[in-house]
Structure 1
Amino acid sequence: MKTNELIHRLRVQLKQLEQEVLQHDSQLPKGERKLLQDTERFNDNLFNQAGAQLGPCIDQLSKKIAQLEKLLQGNISATTIALACEGIQDRFTALRRALNTTALGVKSAEQQKASRIAHARKRRQKSHAQSGFNWIAAGVMNNSHQLYEELNKHMNWVHTFEQKIAHLQSKLENCHSADKIALQNEILLVHRRLGKCRQAISYIEDRIQAFERPYKHQNR
């Protein structure tokens, strides 16, 4: 095959593939682009590209064809030419395969994401079970909105306990000596509840920070 004919055929093949790639990239939903944004689609020796969009591969393949054209114009061995042609065909094959497997890549990325979320949820539930705050529903630990509701609930309880302690201490100052022990025991009990409630607030605040930290990193 003559040099000009070989290069012409490769460029025609590239042009056809470019149209498919442009259509592929233009039809990619935003969610799929985000899911695959860090996914390596090729071996490093084929394309330097990551993510769902395949447009950058066309430019790289075009440069390989231009390099082959220069080789054909020089005094280069047939073995070197054959290897260059083989490399170009390998890239065509890999790019076509990538066009046909984007949906599979998305599905795999979705499964991996779901697995990470499930693992994080299981880790939070285990931590919650070992925390000693079992009166807080485990499901609350997996929902940012419910965590804030739980935090607000405990803050209201702190206010209620503080008012009750103030009321009981006022009663203690004016009660008969026979009733003092009972009032002191009640004040002590409310103080314990207040302390436990404050500990729970610190615990919930820590869970909120742990829950929101990954999302803050993602939004940078």
Structure 2
Amino acid sequence: MNTSELIHRLRVQLKQLEQEVLQHDSQLAKGQRKLLHDTERFNHGLFNQSGAQLAPCISQISNKITQLEKLLKGNISTSTVALSCEGIQDRFTALRRALNTTTLDVKSAEQQRVSRIANAKQRRQQSHADSGFSWIASGVMHNSHQLYDELNKHLNWVQTFEQKIADLQSKLENCHSADKIALQNEILLVHRRLGKCRQAISYIEDRIQAFERPYRSHNR
């Protein structure tokens, strides 16, 4: 086989594969493209490509064929030509394999996504349990709007407790000595509730910041 025939056959092979790749890319669903967006499907030595769409690989193989054509015009050894042809065929094989494994790669990416979500949820639940505020509804910890509602509820409780303490202090100043111990104990109890409520407010504010931090970073 002469050199021009070799290049011709490689380009015909590439043209056939290009049609398959274009059909593959056109049939990709939006969800598939999103799932495989950051997925590297090839060895770095073969293609510089990531994601579900495979069209970029066609131009890279074409460049390799052009390089081979230039080598053949020079005085190079047969072994160098064979090595270059082998590299091109390796790319053809890898690209065909990728065409046939997109569905499997999508399933794998989906499983990894589900696993990451489950692990993140488990970490949040554990953090919630370890915080000492497990009496706050667990579902609230996964919803920023509910967190704000919970924050407002606790802020209202603070006002209620502070008013309650003020009322009890007023009663204490004017009560009989026999009633003072009971009132002092009640004031102490409300103070404890107020302290716990303020701690919960700090905890909820931290959770709100944790929710909003990724959003703010994304929109910078």
- Normalising by structure 2, we get a TM-score of 0.90
1:114 aligns with 2:114: yes
Distance 1:152 1:100, change over 3 A: farther
Q: How does 1:104-183 map to 2 (within 5 A)?
A: 104-183=104-183
13-22 or 196-205, which moves further after superposition? Answer: 13-22
**Aligned counterparts of 2:77 and 2:109: Cα–Cα separation in 1:** 44
Corresponding residue for residue 205 of structure 2: 205
Cα distance in 2 for residues equivalent to 1:32 and 1:6 = 37
Q: 1:187 — aligned with what?
A: 187
Displacement of 1:90 in angstroms is: 0.8
Percent of matched pairs sharing the same residue: 83
In the other structure, the counterpart of 1:4 is: 4
Separation in 2, partners of 1:158, 1:16: 73
Which shows bigger deviation, 73-82 or 22-31?
Answer: 22-31
Uncovered stretches (5+) of structure 1, i.e. residues with no partner = none
Q: Residue 80 of structure 1 corresponds to which residue in structure 2?
A: 80
Q: Give the deviation of 1:145 after TM superposition.
A: 3.3
Structure 2 unaligned regions, length at least 5: none
The aligned amino acid for 2:6 is L
* Superposed displacement of residue 114, structure 1: 1.6
Q: Cα RMSD between the aligned structures?
A: 2.0
- Counterpart of 1:17, as a letter, is L
The offset of 1:88, in angstroms, is: 0.6
Higher mean C-alpha deviation, range 8-17 or range 61-70: 8-17
Q: Cα gap change, 1:188/1:151 in structure 2, threshold over 3 Å: closer, same or farther?
A: same
Please say which of residues 94-103 and 131-140 is displaced more in the overlay. 131-140
82-91 or 70-79: which moved more? 70-79
Q: 135-144 or 124-133, which moves further after superposition?
A: 135-144
SS of the aligned residue for 1:22 comes to: helix
| CA apart distance, 1:6 | 1.8
Are residues 149 and 23 of structure 1, via their aligned partners in 2, closer, same or farther at CA, if it must alter by over 3 Å? farther
Alignment CA distance shift 1:153-1:205 (3 Å): same
Distance 1:12 1:216 in 2: 51
